[in-house]
């Protein structure tokens, strides 16, 4: 079963940038790599798209002035690129030392291009991706998720650990479960991986209390018990995203496990899906499984 559900080999890849999440991404990635017995790679992708707005400022100038300004802008772009590369390398060096504090020796990779495309190129040799909830360009005040996060989660097929802003050791995790094929697969993937073995396990099902709910919860408990987890079951009613966040807080959960987005075009257009809402409002790390 495990060979079909998870990738038992490969590295943990932590995508880091200059945001305030960089430290926690490195911490959670080192924690996961140690739990899995996998090598850790710290990745920084230098994306120049955010400099593009400054490149075309010469439309109303005379020919000579335009050429001078374009030359100055090109020189400025080159200097910005050099500084960005130096910042990226300094960030990776600092985070490698941070990972070493967790007893993990990380390798470093600095790429140019788009984050999603870079992760897809690395996916074949990757066991787990780790990314921050928000990147350096996200609007923290508005509570927006990083634009790259949703794109990454929708694009890749490996598990994604979405790091919270601050790291704390994971002792207790909760699976958001609804009895569907997707969340049953989440339970089976948890059972097949060493990542969460030995940790305090909780299963939450949101919905009306009926025989079907009890049957689903019994299946989850039996499946987890057979894999060595002593799962505690919880049932609640209400809006799934609100209840999941509230129960995670009430039970002092350190890590939430739930299903990721689907790949269909229709699903990708849904605004306010449970996954998105939980990621936006739940302050703990979230392990997204597909």
Q: Dig out the tokens for 227 from the structure.
A: 């894999």
The predicted model gives 265-271 an average pLDDT of 41
Output the pLDDT for position 120.
96
Its pTM stands at 0.85
- Give pLDDT tens digits for 9-53: 899 999 999 989 999 999 999 999 999 999 999 999 987 654 444
- Is pLDDT of 267 > 50? no
Q: Give me the pLDDT at residue 65, please.
A: 77
Q: Which class is 10-50+84-163 in CATH?
A: alpha beta
Pull the structure tokens for residue 170. Answer: 């994971």
pLDDT value, residue 3:
42
Neighbours of 27 (CB within 10 A): 23
Three-state secondary structure call for residue 202: strand
List, as one string, the DSSP characters of 82-121. HHHHHHHHHHHHHHHHHHHTTT--EEEEEEES-HHHHHHH
Q: How far is CA 75 from CA 6, 29, 45, 80, in A?
A: 48, 37, 22, 9
Q: For the chain, what are the domain ranges? A: 10-50+84-163, 172-256+263-284
Query: Which pLDDT band, with edges at 50, 70 and 90, does 280 fall under?
Result: confident
The CA distances from residue 137 to 20, 33, 120, 159, 237, in Å, are 11, 27, 21, 24, 36
For 282, the 3-state DSSP assignment is: coil
For range 58-74, the mean pLDDT = 72
Q: What's residue 54's pLDDT?
A: 45
Per-residue pLDDT at 262: 52
Averaged confidence pLDDT in the chain: 86
Segment 113-154, tens digit of pLDDT: 999 999 999 999 999 999 998 765 554 444 456 678 888 988
Query: What confidence category does residue 251 fall into, taking pLDDT thresholds of 50, 70 and 90?
Result: very high
Domains 10-50+84-163 and 172-256+263-284 share a fold: yes
Residue 104: both structure tokens together: 């993990």
**Of 108 and 70, more confident:** 108
Q: Are 185 and 219 in contact (CB under 8 A)?
A: no
Q: What is the CATH number of domain 172-256+263-284?
A: 3.40.50.620
In the three-class reduction of DSSP (H, G, I as helix; E, B as strand; rest coil), residue 262 is classed as coil
Give yes or no for residue 266 having a pLDDT over 90.
no
* pLDDT of 57 strictly over 90: no
Report pLDDT digits (tens) over 169-210.
999 999 999 999 989 999 999 999 999 999 999 999 998 899
Average pLDDT for residues 165-171, to the nearest whole number? 94
Q: Who wins on pLDDT, 244 or 67? A: 244
Q: Is the pLDDT of residue 234 over 70?
A: yes
Q: How far, in Å, are 13, 120, 129, 185 from residue 107 at the CA level?
A: 10, 19, 15, 32
Q: Are strands 160-163 and 286-289 parallel, antiparallel or unpaired?
A: antiparallel
**Number of other CB atoms surrounding residue 171 within 10 Å:** 12
Q: What is the DSSP string of 137-177?
A: TS-TTTTPPPHHHHHHHHH--S-EEEE-SS-----EEEEEE
Q: Which residue has the higher pLDDT, 202 or 71?
A: 202
- DSSP labels for 68-84? HHHHHHHHHHHHHHHHH
In sequence order, the β-bridge partners of residue 14 are: 42, 130
């Amino acid at each position: 079963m495990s060979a079909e559900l998870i990738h038992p080999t490969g590295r943990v890849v932590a995508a880091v940038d200059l945001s305030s999440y960089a430290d926690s991404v490195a911490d959670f990635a080192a924690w996961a790599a140690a739990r899995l017995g996998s090598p850790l790679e710290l990745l920084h992708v230098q994306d120049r798209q955010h400099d593009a707005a400054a490149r075309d400022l010469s439309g109303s100038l005379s020919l000579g002035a335009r050429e001078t300004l374009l030359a100055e802008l090109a020189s400025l772009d080159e200097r910005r690129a050099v500084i960005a590369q130096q910042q990226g390398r300094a960030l990776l060096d600092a985070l490698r030392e941070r990972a070493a504090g967790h007893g993990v020796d990380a390798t470093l990779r600095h790429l140019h291009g788009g984050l999603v495309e870079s992760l897809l190129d690395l996916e074949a040799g990757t066991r787990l991706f780790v990314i921050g909830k928000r990147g350096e360009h996200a609007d923290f005040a508005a509570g927006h998720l990083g634009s790259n996060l949703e794109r990454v989660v929708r694009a890749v097929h490996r598990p994604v650990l979405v790091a919270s802003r601050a790291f704390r050791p994971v002792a207790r995790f909760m699976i958001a479960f609804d009895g569907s094929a997707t969340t049953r697969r989440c339970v089976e993937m948890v059972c097949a991986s060493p990542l969460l073995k030995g940790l305090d396990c909780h299963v939450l099902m949101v919905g009306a209390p009926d025989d079907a709910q009890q049957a689903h919860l019994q299946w989850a408990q039996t499946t987890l018990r057979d894999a060595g987890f002593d799962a505690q079951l919880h049932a609640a009613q209400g809006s799934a995203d609100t209840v999941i966040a509230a129960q995670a807080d009430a039970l002092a959960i350190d890590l939430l496990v739930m299903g990721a987005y689907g790949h269909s075009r229709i699903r990708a257009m849904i605004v306010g899906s449970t996954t998105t809402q939980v990621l936006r409002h739940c302050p703990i790390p979230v392990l997204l499984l597909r």
